[in-house]
């Protein structure tokens, strides 16, 4: 493995780590919806 390999591995690990943290924090904050806020609000129109 050379330096570039190590850098790439670190970047991939960081990206995956950020993704995992996002999924966990979304669950913790109760963010269940798809992010389509207006759609959720519209659903109360009927």
Partner 1 sequence: MTLKDIKIGETAKVEKLCGEGALRQHFLDMGVLPGTEITVVKYAPMGDPIELRLHGYELTLRLDDAEKIEVAKVDKSTSKEDKKSGKKKIAHPGLGEGGKFHPKGTGKALPEDTVLTFALIGNQNCGKTTLFNRLTGSKQHVGNFPGVTVDRKDGAIKGYPNTMITDLPGIYSMSPYTSEEIVSRNFVLNNKPHAIINIIDATNIERNLYLTMQLLEMDIPMVVALNMMDELTSNGGSVDINTMEMLLGVPVVPISAAKNSGIDELVEHALHVAKYQEKPLNQDFCDKTSNGGAVHRCMHSMEHLIEDHAEKSGLPLRFAASKVIEGDPLILKQLAIDENEEELTDHIVLQLEKERGLDRSAAIADMRFSFILRLCEQAVTKPKESKEHIRSRRIDTFLTGKYTAIPAFIGIMALVFWLTFNVIGAFLQGLFEKGVDELTEITDKALTNGNVNSAIHSLIIDGIFAGIGSVLSFLPIIVTLFFFLSLLEDSGYIARVAFFMDKLLRKIGLSGRSIVPMLIGFGCSVPAIMATRTLPSERDRKMTILLTPFMSCTAKLPIYAFFVSTFFPGRGALIMIGLYLLGIITGIIVACVYKSTLFRGEPVPFVMELPNYRMPSAGNVVQLLWEKAKDFLQKAFSVILIATVAVWFLQSFDTHLNMVDDAENSILARVASLFEPLMDPLGLGDWRVIVSLFSGFMAKESVVSTMEILFGDEIKMYMSTLAAACMLVFSLLYTPCVAAVASVKRELGTKWAIVIVIWQCVIAWFAALALRLICTMIGVG
Asked if 39 touches partner 1 (CB under 8 A), the answer is yes
Count Cα neighbours of 45 within 13 Å in the Cβ-side half-sphere. 6
CA atoms of 46 and 37, how far apart (whole Å): 16
Q: Is 28 in the site for partner 1 (CB under 8 A)?
A: no
43 contributes a contact to partner 1 by CB under 8 A: yes
Least distance from partner 1 to the Cβ atom of residue 29, Å: 6
CA atoms of 40 and 37, how far apart (whole Å) = 5
Q: What is the DSSP letter of 2?
A: -
Q: Which residues bind partner 1 (CB under 8 A)?
A: 1-2, 4-5, 8-9, 12, 15-16, 18-20, 22-23, 27, 29-46
């Amino acid at each position: 493995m050379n330096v570039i390999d190590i850098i790439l591995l670190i970047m991939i690990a960081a990206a995956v780590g950020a993704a995992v943290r996002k999924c966990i924090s979304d669950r913790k904050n109760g963010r269940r919806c798809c992010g389509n806020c207006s759609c959720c609000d519209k659903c109360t129109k009927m």
